[in-house]
Structures are given as C-alpha cells and as structure tokens.
Amino acid sequence: MTQDIRVGKPQRIGPLEVWPLRWNGLSDQKYKTPPFTSELKFSEYDDGDGPRVGNIEIHNLTDTDFIIPSGWVVGAELLQVRSFNGLEYIPAGRAIVADVSCVEKGRWSNGSNRADAGRAPLSVIAAGWEYETSRREWVLNSSQRQSRVWNQVARQESRSGTRPTSSLEQIMREDAMSDPNVQETQRTLRTNLRSREGQNGVLVGLDGQPLMMEFYSNESAFKKILRETLRSMSFDLEGSSFKALDESEVQKFIADSALGEMHMLSDDDWALLMAGGNELIDTRAFMARDERFIQVSAINRNHKLLLEI
C-alpha cells in the first residue's frame, strides 16, 4: 500500500522541514473541513445531569459532510473553550456528541468566543495518550488527559504571561502578534509554503526527526488544514533549530506507520475509525464505506517534543 505514496522535495519553514506527499487512490467522498463560519453549531451536551466538560454537541447545518481534525479549538457560545481529542466526522444534517478537552481554565459560564479558533499546538493535541501493548494502540488516559492538557496550556501561557482564564485561544491569538519567534515562523509560512500539484499529504520534520504525517483525500481541504497545522506548530518551536531529514528517514517513517496493517476501532454508518502503528508511532485513519481512506494521521510519539507530556 505505501508504495503508492510519492515523496516530493522538502521545503523549510523556520525550524520545520515540510515534505510534500501524494497518495493515489484515496476516497472520493465529498466533505468540508475548517475553516468554518456558520455551517456548524456547537452547544454543551447535557444528558440530564448538566453539561459535561469532556463532551460537546455539534450540529452540521449543511447538506455536506464535515470533518474536524484533532486538536481543533472551538469556542462560540460554549461555557468554556474546548479542543477536540480526535478527528470528528459529522454527516450532513446530523448532530454528534464529540469528546473534547478544556483549554480555558477558570471559566464555566456564558460568553462569546470565536467559533473557529484554529488548531492547538501538537504538544496539546498529544497530551495524555499512552500506548497499550495488549491492544497494540495508543489510547487516551481519561483520568489524566485533562490535567496533562492544562499542563501544556500552562507551558504555552508561560511564554508571555498569565491571562484571566488561561484561554489557549487568547494565548495563541496574542502571541502570534507579539512573540518574535512565533511571528518569524508564521511569516515564513505565509511567504514560503507552496503546495505541489496533486499533493494530499505531508510529513513534517523537526530537529532531524519525523514529527507528524497527515493525508486528506480532499486535496483542497488538505491545503487549508496544512497551513493551519504548521501555524499551530509554531507555538511549540522555542529553542528548536533547523536540521534536515534524509529522504530515507521519511521513507522509513512511512513504512513504520504500517498504513496497511491498521485494525478497526469503530464502525459507524458513514465511516470506519482505524488505528495502528506501534509503541513509537500513533497511526489513525478514517475509512469510507468503499474501504478507501478519507483521512490518515501518524504522530511520532518518540519525538523529544512529545516525550513526557
């Protein structure tokens, strides 16, 4: 399966090395992705015992399926700002209950925040996951996930000082305008990033190691998410310097991600959730009913950026 993945010439975005990938034969299922405006409605999920911190309800108000990547930050009319624990697939005209984590501390009240606040830094997305050998997959430690997320939000906040509610949305918005290192990486991203024709995937390297790989079957959606993902990574790069990857390391990471050996986690009527990888690489995917991939991600959880989070 991985022999169909073509690797292009890398680009440098600050300390990051961005390798364009093209994977033929992904699903042709139609869907939308962020950024979004009024297409989705977010509300607190109440099962009768009051709203839960770890869940929100999403209503897709359009006639097209929607995908929200892991770590996307939403506020809107929620009682606190949240980020998604994993990728969420919301069918057209349907509502789902999503697993989320709080990324705003000290507020549980009505307010108004940006509905679409972009993607969280990878250190926040990856916090609280552990490898379970018996299941051969990375699983969320539900008892520690929230505290570990708050630890990572606090680390982000320490860069420029405390906020009234320690809101990750506010931290990222303000530091993008004030922190020189973040500003420089984001400026380079705006001016240097060029997508290749047919590109629907990327492998991002940092400090001479693969960090993350993602594919989206919708090429135009992929390009939007790629730019936002790299922007969010800029908040994790303090102290990092550029170190190039050899293409052989890229090919090895693709092979080690074991994209052809994933097992099914859940079977919904619109997509199959798959997992794979090993104790070093966390691989996840959504597969359409035609058994072709809609979205695939692989995180190098052995990268020094993600150790002990």
Q: Is residue 22 part of a domain?
A: yes
- Does residue 306 fall inside a structural domain? no
Question: Is residue 224 one of the residues assigned to a domain?
Answer: yes
Domain containing 171: what range? 2-300
Does residue 305 form part of some domain?
Answer: no
Per run of 10 residues, the mean pLDDT along the chain (length 309 residues) is 83 97 94 92 93 96 95 94 96 96 93 89 97 91 96 96 96 96 96 92 97 96 95 95 96 95 82 91 92 96 93
What total of structural domains would you count in the chain? 1
The answer to the question of residue 222 being in a domain is yes
pLDDT at 2: 55
pLDDT of residue 113: 82
pTM for the model: 0.94
Inside any domain, residue 126:
yes
98-115 residues labelled b (16+ CB within 10 A) or e (exposed):
bbbbbbbbebeeebebeb
Helices 180-192 and 219-233 sit at what angle, rounded to 10 degrees? Answer: 160
Domain presence at residue 282: yes
> Does residue 309 sit within a domain?
no
| pLDDT recorded at residue 69 | 96
> What local confidence, expressed as pLDDT, does residue 267 receive?
77
22 vs 13: CA distance, rounded Å:
20
| CB proximity list for 217: less than 8 A, separation 6 or greater | 26, 27, 28, 29, 200, 292, 293, 294, 295
